[in-house]
Amino acid sequence: NNVGAMALLMPVAVRLAERLQLAPGQVLMPLAFGTILGGMTTLIGTPPNLIVAGFRQQQGMGSFAMFDFTAVGLSVAVVGVLFIAFIGWRLVPVRKQAGMEGFDTGAYLTEVRVPEGSASVGQTLHALELALDKAGAQVVGLVRNDIRVIAPSPYRQVVAGDILVIEAEADALPQLLTALELRLEESRRPEGPMPEDDAADTDQAAPARSPGIAEPAADTKPPEEETAPTSSDIVLMELAILPSSGLEGRSASDLLLRTRYGLNLLAVSRQGQRSRTRLRAMPLQAGDLLLMQGPLETIAEFASDNGCVPLAERELHIPSQRKAWQAGGIMLLSVGAAALGWLPAAIAFALGVLASMVLRTVSPRAVYEAVDWPVVVLLAALMPVAGAMETTGTADLIARFMLDHLAQGNAIVGLGLILVVTMFLSDLMNNAATAAVMCPIALGTASALGASADPFLMAVAIGASCAFLTPIGHQNNTLILGPGGFRFGDYWRLGVPLEVLVVAISMPVLLLAWPL
């Protein structure tokens, strides 16, 4: 699956960009678009292919086979990847500076406390910024007596208990804290009574449960009651929030990060934007970068359970060679059964998942949490809508309008219209939802033209997969929004020529592989 491939390769791409001294976006956008193109080559590579195949089966024409998409998908993927590799990467926006003018994956908004006896007490913010400038950091806010001051005067004196909101790179934080005798605000556990305004920010608040957020076991002890990890076990790790993660809309206080997991949220990076909300109360969004502090295994487990991708370099833990062979064998058997037509793809992979649980290669909990429930619910809601469009004649009306006013009875023009319209809608909607809506329209268009439905359904599959113009069209586009430092309008620079190229390549291949 292209989303899984993106999540797997993203940490490697970030590290590669660092070693080559490239902006992360120069590597991440080509990777995202490349995985999207690669997903079009097989039945299971991307959700739109599965939806189109399922729709064809519902119409009594049988499902598409595993490699029926390969002729068109592989042609488009090869040409698209070559274009990205030799020309397209030059069109990717490059922003190496953090702040409102750009974004760097190392730029974080971090809260640091001025403790009693600190060398920073009594100094002006201007004096502190002289030291911060050397590390490429700056003070962007101050919290005093629970009142936050945005862009404080550089001549304001620092007092003990102040919380400074600084913008700094993750690698520079330890040196800054040591030099200025400051400490990370989220590294301390609140002590004593707190003001009412901050009551909701503490880990003692009881939040409502949210789908996708793992609940701790009832007998789990608070972190302070367990054996404390040594300093060598504590690491800093960057996590990128995946689309549809259970963390969306939740804050660190809502999640009880310290009480539940023994983790600290030290900083959040969001497309260079500065939040007016306290760090503990900041609602998280897809694409945010989180700087987490805690034991390596705990952070990795938290990321896996809650829909995040670790970006920081870390050790690769393989549970056991036996499980690795089991997982590989089950995957090959599932793909083989679907490819050879022994079983429908849905049945083959469902049995594969069941076998993985029976053999304890993966836990039932991990399987449950891997399901993208928002997409499942969305498709469950749209399938009846698509069916209603077909049974009520709405799809035929839309198809007739397109043919009468645009295609004028030309089957090739009609095929191109289906491809372009699907591609346009996919940039604005979820790609799976677009495929569900466009399938009955494509079938109605083919019927009105007296042509085969297969090339029109293939056009829907190709168009729904090729969402390159916006970060909301495909999950991979959303995933790179934060780490790549992109803005909403950055995608069209590479996306427009790539979509034009997809149309130019796919149309003749469609007509050759799937005659009208």
351-to-52, 354, 356, 379, 509 alpha-carbon distances in Å: 22, 5, 9, 22, 34
- Tell me which residues of the chain have a pLDDT lower than 70: 95-109, 136, 150-151, 170-171, 185-234, 258, 271-280, 312-321, 339, 345, 369-383, 385-400, 402-407
Q: Where in the chain is the domain with CATH 3.30.70.1450?
A: 107-310
Nearest-5° Cα angle at 492, 486 to 493: 85
**Which amino acid is residue 266, in one-letter code?**
L
Residue with tokens 């259970």: 246
pLDDT for 17: 82
Burial 146-174 (b: 16+ CB within 10 A, else e): eeeeeebeeeeebeeebbbbbbbbbebbe
pLDDT for 404: 66
Neighbours of 401 (CB within 10 A): 10
pLDDT for 114: 86
Distance between CA atoms of residues 70 and 90, nearest Å: 28
431 three-state secondary structure: helix
- Would you state the CATH architecture of domain 107-310? 2-Layer Sandwich (3.30)
Look at phi and psi of residue 412 and say left if phi exceeds 0, alpha if psi is from -120 to 50, else beta. alpha
pLDDT for 306: 82
pLDDT for 214: 36
pLDDT for 490: 86
Q: Which two tokens stand for residue 474?
A: 């495909």
64 three-state secondary structure: coil
DSSP state of 28: H
23 three-state secondary structure: coil
Q: Which two tokens stand for residue 211?
A: 């789908």
Pairing of strands 264-269, 234-241: unpaired
> For residue 181, which of 152, 158, 202 has the smallest C-alpha distance?
158
